[in-house]
Chains A and B, each alone.
Chain A
Amino acid sequence: KAGVTQTPRYLIKTRGQQVTLSCSPISGHRSVSWYQQTPGQGLQFLFEYFSETQRNKGNFPGRFSGRQFSNSRSEMNVSTLELGDSALYLCASSPSHQNQPQHFGDGTRLSIL
């Protein structure tokens, strides 16, 4: 069974640009959650999607947004990039949206110049 697939693996952007990251969950998983990982803040929850609906949102500015498609694939968008947005962005999937183990993809490493 294929795992969670995230693309691209690496991105380099400059301040002010925007970026879109993609996540394909494990087959049959309907919940997709996004996390940001930085050395200083650790792993922080961004948002979760289930059945194309955002079910939960973390404490991030509105520049961070996402969506989920009918096939459960999800995208995350960050607009007006700031230097502090440099991080590893991780996507995780689970069968449903409550109390389920989440399985992570390899992540997208975003660097802002």
Chain B
Amino acid sequence: QKEVEQNSGPLSVPEGAIASLNCTYSDRVSQSFFWYRQYSGKSPELIMSIYSNGDKEDGRFTAQLNKASQYVSLLIRDSQPSDSATYLCAVNGDNQGGKLIFGQGTELSVKP
């Protein structure tokens, strides 16, 4: 079992729709969770960080964390073609310092 799992996609949504990206992790004591966006040929860009159960909203983005289910998700409201990218889920375990474990990423395509 991979430590951090994501559906590879591609996930295709129409412009203006809600895109839902999911991630599960295996280390129950994981403490910190991050979503990165990576455009083709570019480096990952931090979108959201979440540390406690529940929802965290930032503009059109909402991160959701459920530690009991070992599940973290990212919702993108009013999706735009410029949101088309690969979204990477990253997990920082307990006492793991700066070691982030990344999922394989979900490719999102927003169609005009």
In the complex, how many residues of chain B place their beta carbon closer than 8 angstroms to a beta carbon of chain A? 25
Beta-carbon contacts under 8 Å, B8-33 to A:
31-32
- CB–CB A106/B42 < 8 A: yes
A83 contacts chain B at the CB level, 8 A cutoff: no
A42 contacts chain B at the CB level, 8 A cutoff: yes
- CB–CB A90/B97 < 8 A: no
A98 contacts chain B at the CB level, 8 A cutoff: yes
Interface hit among B64-72, B73-81, B100-108: B100-108
Q: Which of A55, A88, A99 contacts B51 (CB 8 A)?
A: A99
Binary contact track A76-113/B, C-beta < 8 Å → 1, others 0: 00000000000010101010011111111111000000
Q: Can you list 15 A-B pairs with a CB-CB distance of less than 8 A?
A: A31-B98, A35-B100, A35-B102, A42-B102, A42-B104, A48-B99, A50-B98, A55-B97, A56-B96, A90-B44, A98-B97, A98-B98, A99-B31, A102-B100, A104-B46
Q: How far is the CA of A70 from the CA of B99 in the complex (A)?
A: 21
Beta-carbon contacts under 8 Å, A40-98 to B:
42-45, 48, 50, 55-56, 58, 88, 90, 92, 94, 97-98
Q: How far is the CA of A35 from the CA of B43 in the complex (A)?
A: 11
A33 contacts chain B at the CB level, 8 A cutoff: yes
- CB–CB A56/B43 < 8 A: no
Most chain A CB inside 10 Å of its own CB: which residue of B88, B92, B97: B97
B57 contacts chain A at the CB level, 8 A cutoff: no
- CB–CB A106/B97 < 8 A: no
- CB–CB B97/A101 < 8 A: no
> Smallest CB–CB gap between B11 and chain A, Å?
17
